[in-house]
Amino acid sequence: MDTVDRSLVVSAVVADGVVGSFGLGVTAEVFGYDRTSQGMPRFDFALVGEQPGEVRTDTGIRIVVEHGLERLARSDIITITAWELFDRIPSAALLAAVRAAHDRGAIVVSQCTGAFVLAHAGLLDGCRATTHWRYAGELAARFPAVTVDPAVLYVDSGRILTGAGTAAGVDTLLHLVRREWGSAAANAMARDMVVPPHRDGGQAQFIDTPVARCEDDLLGVVLEWARAHLAEEISVESLARRALMSPRSFARRFKATTGTTPHAWLLGQRLAAAETLLEDSDAPVEEIARLVGFGPAAGLRDQFTRRRGVSPRAYRQTFRAGHAGPTAVPSVQPGVAVGPAPVQLHRHWPGAGRVRGDETGVEAGLGQPA
């Protein structure tokens, strides 16, 4: 993204008794520290409520909110971590402030049941969205204009991102970091947080079948081999032989363990390796395509554009240059306080809204719950 002279304003919306403790902690972990040494911008992170003062989280922890809704008028990123009390309708003032910030150009992120607030605001009408799988039916029933996908970790619609329950908030925010500031920044943050650097949004929210530890270990060895040999032709059959299984048993075990298919996992690995080489090397696209196993450059360009929304060349330019000032966004909704236009974090990603649930790629540790 473009370098700016000011800190990016990040606001976490909280309300008494409904704010998610875990989601708030994840949000603070991502935006509350100085990570400029990792290639991130400066963040001005704070909590926002309808009235400043003390509120309780969903687990009863008391926290102090220092800012009212007026802060949303100058926020670049707004997060809503949860809204557990479904019969408690968000106030008209809160919904108007969130709508105005989005219309002005801010990125709005919901985690878990925070999607209900975005739905009440009308921001999800006609869009695909997700929430915790347990409450997906409730979201769909209450808001028929929203296409609810209960199976994925997160949905990226450009300036609106919706994440699934609990730990998927980590995946959602790391995806945002990767999208805006590149894989190196996301990977460095993931190392600090001791979490997998990238789980694609299409991965299943949960895995039905527990797998014996010894089989996980064997599968892990096979996948480590695959990561080290991406330039080679890798088939399900060849992976199955290394795992001492039939191809059918291997594919079934793989899906039960990781929540995705061998082909989708391998594609995700190759795209992630291509991202790293585009950011950290001067190798031409043709050479990168060969090194990560796409063969001709056309294969890399096609898959990269379909999955990432931009060409490999544009991706490289985005994370190596781009120091122009932020693009102004017209203000809207007379009568609602509107601040300066936020930095257009997403504008390098014309295809950001094309994320599809069937485009999966998993880099999570084997056997980890979603």
Q: Is residue 339 part of a domain?
A: no
Share of the chain above pLDDT 70, in %: 79
Residue 212 clears pLDDT 70, i.e. is over it: no
Q: Structural domain of residue 141, as residue ranges?
A: 8-193
Residue 259 confidence (pLDDT): 79
Same domain (yes/no): 224, 148: no
Quickly state the pLDDT bin for 320 (edges 50, 70, 90): low
Instruction: Return d(Cα 181, Cα 31) in angstroms, integer.
Output: 13
Q: Is residue 20 part of a domain?
A: yes
pLDDT tens digits for 329-339? 333 343 334 44
Number of structural domains, the chain? 2
Quickly state the pLDDT bin for 83 (edges 50, 70, 90): confident
CATH of the domain at 290: 1.10.10.60
Q: Give the residue-averaged pLDDT of 163-181.
A: 91
Structure tokens at 184: 């190196």
Q: Give the residue-averaged pLDDT of 260-276.
A: 90
pLDDT tens digits for 111-128? 999 999 999 999 999 999
Same domain (yes/no): 248, 361: yes
- Tokens 């309808």 appear where? 50
Same domain (yes/no): 93, 187: yes
Same domain (yes/no): 167, 218: no
Same domain (yes/no): 173, 214: no
Nearest to 202 by CA among 138, 143, 267, 124: 267
Nearest to 257 by CA among 214, 297, 216, 291: 216
Residue 124 confidence (pLDDT): 97
Provide the 8-state DSSP code for 38.
Answer: G
CATH of the domain at 99: 3.40.50.880
Q: Is residue 304 part of a domain?
A: yes
Residue 256 clears pLDDT 70, i.e. is over it: yes
At 163 the three-state DSSP class reads: strand
pLDDT tens digits for 213-243? 444 567 888 888 999 999 999 999 999 988 8
Least reliable range by pLDDT among 133-137, 243-247, 334-338: 334-338
Residue 285 confidence (pLDDT): 94
- Tokens 């739905």 appear where? 119
Please give the residue that has the higher pLDDT: either 83 or 53.
53
